[in-house]
Structure 1
Amino acid sequence: MKGWLLLLFAIVLELTGTLSMKYSDGFARVLPSIMMFVCYAASFTMLNLAIKTIDVSVAYAIWSGVGTLLITAAGVFLFKETLTALKIASIMVIIFGVIGLNVASRV
């Protein structure tokens, strides 16, 4: 259970780091730039600790897949990015891949 909680923290930190990257405006803004590095370092640390108890393939797929889903939603809602049918279909492929890896690790 601890590994899954660490993975959740890793995902939240990765999302925060990616949002900070956008807000840094190509390193033009100092605080978001610093936040990006701090959040990514903390995210990788949490992911590293999570894979002590979760298969690395499953943990990484969930970390990157959920992160992709969340940053896509943030892009749509915060930055008014468009959400096309192809983007939705691609996200569904990622979600099904994460589910498949999780199921396969239990067999």
Structure 2
Amino acid sequence: MRGYFFIFMTVLSEVVATAAQKEALDFTRVLPTLVMVVGYISSFIFLTLSLRLVPMGIVYAGSAGLSIVLANLAGWIYFRDQLNGHQAAGILLVLVGISVIAAPQ
């Protein structure tokens, strides 16, 4: 269970860092730049910790897929990005793919 917590923390760190990157405006704003750097470093630390406990394919599929979903959600909520029907369907397919890959055998 700890491994999946680390995957979630990987995703959360990465999404926060990506949102901060958009706010950093080419590294011209100090606080968002610092949040971005700390977020990406944290993401790699949590990724490394999760790889000790969970098979690599599940870690990669889970972190990549959930990052896509949460980044889109963060963009929609925080940046007012628009999602069309095709994008929503793609996000749904990503969620289905993650659940198939991560399902117990």
Q: Same fold (TM over 0.5)?
A: yes
RMSD of aligned Cα (Å) = 1.2
Runs of at least 5 residues in structure 2 that lack an aligned partner in the other structure? none
Matches of 2:100 and 2:34 in 1, distance apart? 36
Deviation at 1:54, TM superposition (A): 0.6
For 1:1-20, list aligned pairs within 5 A. 1-20=1-20
Deviation at 1:74, TM superposition (A): 1.2
Deviation at 1:33, TM superposition (A): 1.2
Deviation at 1:28, TM superposition (A): 1.6
- Structure 1 length as normaliser, TM-score? 0.90
For 1:1-107, list aligned pairs within 5 A. 1-103=1-103, 106-107=104-105
SS in 1 for 2:83: coil
Deviation at 1:26, TM superposition (A): 1.9
SS in 1 for 2:28: coil
Deviations 1:59-104 (A, max 9, x none): 111111111111111111111111100110111121111112112x
Kindly tell me the number of residue pairs found equivalent between the two proteins. Answer: 105
SS in 1 for 2:82: coil
Matches of 1:78 and 1:16 in 2, distance apart? 11
Matches of 1:23 and 1:63 in 2, distance apart? 23
| Deviates most, 80-89 or 25-34 | 25-34
Deviation at 1:41, TM superposition (A): 0.9
- Structure 2 length as normaliser, TM-score? 0.91
SS in 1 for 2:65: helix
Could you tell me which amino acid in structure 2 is paired with residue 84 of structure 1? N
Matches of 1:85 and 1:79 in 2, distance apart? 18
Percent of residue pairs identical:
27
Could you tell me which amino acid in structure 1 is paired with residue 91 of structure 2? I
